[in-house]
Amino acid sequence: MTAIPVDRSPESTLAFLREGYRFIGDRCDRYGSEIFQTRLLLQRTICLRGRPAAVLFYDNDRFVRQGAMPMRGQRTLTGVTGVQGLDDAAHRQRKAMFMSIMTPSAIRQLGQLFDDEWRAQIPVWERSGPVVLYDEIARMLTRAVCAWAGVPLAGSDVARRTTQLHAMIEAPAAIGPRHWRGLLARRRAERWAADLVERVRAGALSTPDGSALRVIAEHRSDQGHLLPRRIAAVELLNIVRPTVAVDRFVVFAALALHDHPHWRDRVRGDEPATEHFVQEVRRYYPFFPVAAARVRRSFDWQGHHFPRGRRVLLDLYGTNHHPELWPGPEQFRPDRFAGWRGDPFGLVPQGGGNHFTGHRCAGEWITIELMKRAVTNLTTTMSYQVPPQDLALSLRRMPALPPSGFLIDAVRRTG
């Protein structure tokens, strides 16, 4: 048995928050090991990186999710008692509910709603001065996902709900006001979502068949019980919140088009090139740094001992930037995806493994669809200028975003 390299510091939470996306990767490089142990949030934690590690991490026989995500993440980002913390039959059943919403036609419909929002916004941008793309896309996605999910949303409520959803996304890795805003936003958003669920169940709000709100409000466990309203609220927000979070990827796509302008011509009217571009944006840019699990029962792997109950983190960012998987990982090269056959454990911006039986992101296909629509709109439907601004992307800030939020100016319809 080989001892797992142990990080020298007695407690590394602040180092993790300070160093950000490279925290695990830098230590793996330093120790010459794809595995090491550290202390995070006062608990011994095994950190892993790379494809074999991802294969291990997504083995349901080895790991559970109950109690894996730190409370600060549950109380802001994901909510407590949602699908993320379930295991085994309870997880499969709840996950099936999510995946039943993700039909190809429903995904196309959401993409169309997003497109419609985009086209409606162009004349407004044409008349205005510079706009912050991040804020604009966030509001468009809030409107689109609510319409799609069967959630009524008055025009006057769009800004407030978007701010709440953003606050939850910003909060888990923050200390102080940014974290507190996330706690408050979650409480308010859960009340809103729980009320919607109640109204659907009481017949006071009609929603289209198959819409997320209807599916969640009417979902029954194997024992025939409806979800408690608070859990239903958490799950409805598990659809709405991350869909709005696609705004970050849209900003990253805009940034990539700005930094690699020849790709504007490459993607225009070229579906495969658009797909490769979107995949490279998801691989290259930082979003979720890690996924967390706990050891189900003790086992040994590659000569290392994993004791029962130990928290384990898989470095998602580091795996997407692993030189053995992705040659020249720090270069933005969409062509690497030409002829790519797919690898559920190599490209893991939204988790790895299987969507139905594991914890891989339920919204990955939605994300790709919305990103493709965004790239097409940014290159085909309109032209714009990018005024001087601070676009430096820091890997120390989680979640990452260019400080300016990506300002665009002089927008003109072109298609």
Q: Which residues fall in the annotated binding site? A: 361
Site mask for ligand HEM (CB under 6 A), range 291-330, x = bound: x------------------------x--------------
Q: Which helix (H) or strand (E) holds 207?
A: none
Q: Which part of the chain contacts ligand HEM (CB under 6 A), choosing from 8-16, 18-26, 134-142, 349-357?
A: 349-357
Cα separation, 391 vs 404, in Å, equals 6
252 binds ligand HEM (CB under 6 A): no
Among 346, 349, 402, 405, the residue binding ligand HEM under the rule CB under 6 A is: 349
For residue 267, give the H/E element and its range.
Answer: helix 262-267
Q: Give the nearest distance from C-beta 137 to ligand HEM in angstroms.
A: 11
The nearer residue to ligand HEM, 245 or 312, going by C-beta atoms, is: 245
246 binds ligand HEM (CB under 6 A): yes
Nearest to 281 by CA among 299, 257, 302: 257
Please say which residue, 95 or 322, places its beta carbon nearer to ligand HEM. Answer: 95
Which residues are annotated as part of the binding site for heme?
361
Closer residue to ligand HEM in complex, CB, 291/295: 291
Smallest separation (angstroms) from ligand HEM to the CB of 153? 16
In angstroms, the Cα distances linking 57 to 51, 117, 319 are 10, 39, 12
b or e along 205-240 (b: 16 or more beta carbons within 10 Å of the residue's beta carbon)? bebeeebbbbbbbebeeeeeeebebebbbbbbbbbb
Q: How far is the CB of 265 from ligand HEM (least distance, A)?
A: 27
Contact between 75 and ligand HEM per CB under 6 A: no
- As beta bridge partners, residue 407 has 132
Residue 227: half-sphere exposure toward Cβ, Cα within 13 Å: 25
**Per-residue string for binding with ligand HEM, 150-179, x by CB under 6 A?**
------------------------------
Least Cβ distance, residue 359 to ligand HEM (angstroms): 4
38 contact partners, CB below 8 Å, separation of at least 6: 6, 7, 9, 12, 27, 44, 45, 47
For ligand HEM, the nearest residue by Cβ is: 363
Do 89 and 322 form a contact (C-beta atoms < 8 A)?
no
212/407 with CB nearer ligand HEM: 212
SS3 105: helix
CA atoms within 13 A on the CB side of 95: 19
**Distance between CA atoms of 196 and 202, rounded to whole angstroms?**
10
Return the sign of the alpha-carbon dihedral for residues 83, 86, 92, 93.
negative
47 scored as a contact of ligand HEM (CB under 6 A): no
Q: What is the DSSP string of 359-377?
A: -S-TTHHHHHHHHHHHHHI
Binding part of the chain for ligand HEM, among 113-121, 188-196, 362-370, 400-408 by CB under 6 A, reads: 362-370
The alpha-helical segments, DSSP class H, found in 5-73 are 13-19, 23-31, 51-57, 71-73
In the chain, count of helices (H) and strands (E)? Answer: 15, 10
Contact between 194 and 186 under an 8 Å Cβ cutoff? The reply is no
Task: Select the residue interacting with ligand HEM from 24, 83, 140, 398 (CB under 6 A).
Answer: 83
For position 274 contacting ligand HEM by CB under 6 A, the verdict is no
Instruction: Work out which of 22, 75, 95, 283 binds ligand HEM, going by CB under 6 A.
Output: 95
Q: Using the rule CB under 6 A, is 140 a contact of ligand HEM?
A: no
Q: What is the DSSP letter of 260?
A: S
Of 253 and 316, the one with the shorter C-beta distance to ligand HEM is: 316
Nearest CA to 216 among 224, 205, 228, 204?
Answer: 228
For residue 336, the Cα-to-chain-centroid distance in whole angstroms is: 22
Q: How far is the CB of 80 from ligand HEM (least distance, A)?
A: 14
Whichever of 5 and 363 has its CB closer to ligand HEM, that residue is 363
Q: In angstroms, what is the minimal distance from the CB of 261 to ligand HEM?
A: 25
Q: Which two tokens stand for residue 261?
A: 């302008």
Q: Does residue 350 belong to the site contacting ligand HEM (CB under 6 A)?
A: yes
Q: Does 287 help bind ligand HEM (rule: CB under 6 A)?
A: yes
Binding part of the chain for ligand HEM, among 1-9, 220-228, 237-245, 271-279 by CB under 6 A, reads: 237-245
Binding test (CB under 6 A) with ligand HEM, winner from 173, 239, 257, 312? 239
Q: Is 216 in the site for ligand HEM (CB under 6 A)?
A: no
Task: List residues binding ligand HEM (CB under 6 A).
Answer: 83-84, 95, 98, 238-239, 242-243, 245-246, 249, 287-288, 291, 316, 349-351, 359-363, 366-367
